Amino acid sequence: MHPKALLDECSALMEQVFRFDHPTDAVVSRYFREHKSLGPRERATLSDTVYAALRERLKFEWLARSGSGSKWRRLSILGFPGDRDFLKSALSEQEKVWLDACLRVQPDELMAQHRHNLPEWLATALREQVGDGFDALVASLNGHAPLDLRVNTLKAKRDAVLADLRSAGLTVEPTPHSPLGIRLQGKPNLSKVPAFMRGDIEVQDEGSQLLALLLDARRGEMVVDFCAGAGGKTLAIGAAMRNSGRLYAFDTSVHRLEGLKPRLARSGLSNVHPVGIAHERDERIKRLAGKIDRVLVDAPCSGLGTLRRSPDLKWRQTPETVAAQAELQQRILTSAARLLKPGGRLVYATCSLLRQENEAVAEAFDAAHTDFEPMPVQAVLADARVNAPETLCAGPEGRWLRLWPHRHGTDGFFAAVWRKKP
């Protein structure tokens, strides 16, 4: 595609994304469906341009003020990846001069908000939590996430899979903490990798793998993944159960549960039972009250721990949406707790960085449910053969799992664990 036409496409997509009325990945997917003539290279350029502008929105919008043409064209020029000469062949002389001036701007010439590119309410909340680590956290959040895999222990062992992937020409290494994880360099097309096609591996962030390990599901048990979503943790739990017992995958989105079916077929699991529910008080949940051994609540949340993958979330979330999420999280956790039999284990988790959705929810549950006793996460991780569990935890006696992108190389995660008293 001619560079001028490609830049026009970038501008058109940028305008749609910056309405923030739908998640960016959904907007980009719809745009590609509507523009079938775009090839893989053009699609990659459009996607990279949009995500670059989302990551550095405040800086780009500040630089764009001195440019000409539409705002969306200026943002696209600033976010355009790769060959500058290719880009400049689509620009006017005035635009070339402006772009060169933008590229000469040094970080120390920028205001704080143009360096961190976060809404101020979020920047304030994160500074309060990480202090001097704020700049490192921001740099990590504005970077790119690695591609992590989980070995399906029902079918393979990690050492064998590592050797298999290396023989296929991939650059891989074990994840530093999860005993089941593999980290890939680059963005290979996994759909054509034999180990993926056989179901030996699944894409799953190392932090998400640790959540499943916290549940420590056993053979023959009755287990519930309360907010199963796309099912990554469901698959990990089912493999830990050695394909025995009964594992319910609950979610309010039937569409997401439908997406689990091909992954289930590839995994070889037959103990998983996807169940669509209307809400956290659904009658199908009530019928299981007091019968379940283990429950994982990976609660709906702001998703602000995943900004490396979904930078639009920092512009789509607000203090009001976070407060509403925290209220929903309390209701879901309370409902899920009713499922457990005496001695059962409850795990609450989010992919949020905010205390309001994490420690505050766990502390409120502690106060309201004296029939549950907290289990220090550090000890649970050690039992699960997780490497250096003390580096992953926060609070007294390693009470909570706390994963930070700049410290652990994972998405941001929180988890708390309880045991229902006999």
Active-site residues, by number, are 351
Burial of 370 (0-12, 13-18, 19+ CB in 10 A): exposed
Four-CA torsion 250, 205, 49, 321, nearest 10 degrees: 50
Contact between 411 and 351 (Cβ < 8 Å): yes
Q: Which of 3, 331, 386 shows the shortest CA–CA distance to 210?
A: 386
State the DSSP H helix or E strand holding residue 42, giving kind and residue range, or none if neither.
helix 40-55
Q: Are strands 222-225 and 292-298 parallel, antiparallel or unpaired?
A: parallel
CA distance 208 to 175: 12
Which tokens belong to 19?
């309405």
Give me the helix-helix angle, 3-17 and 24-34, nearest 10°. 140
Helix crossing, 40-55 with 24-34: angle to 10°? 150
SS3 374: strand
Query: Distance of CA 87 to CAs 18, 50, 60, 71, 84, Å?
Result: 22, 15, 17, 17, 5
Strands across the sheet with 181-184, in order?
172-174, 181-184, 147-151, 201-203
Instruction: Give the residue from 192, 140, 139, 145 showing the smallest Cα distance to 165.
Output: 192
Cα separation values, 186 from 66, 141, 146, 195, Å: 35, 18, 8, 17
Strand partners, 349: 298, 415
SS3 of residue 30 by DSSP: helix
Q: What is the DSSP string of 52-109?
A: HHHHTHHHHHHHHTTS-S-HHHHHHHHH--S-HHHHHTTS-HHHHHHHHHHHT--GGG
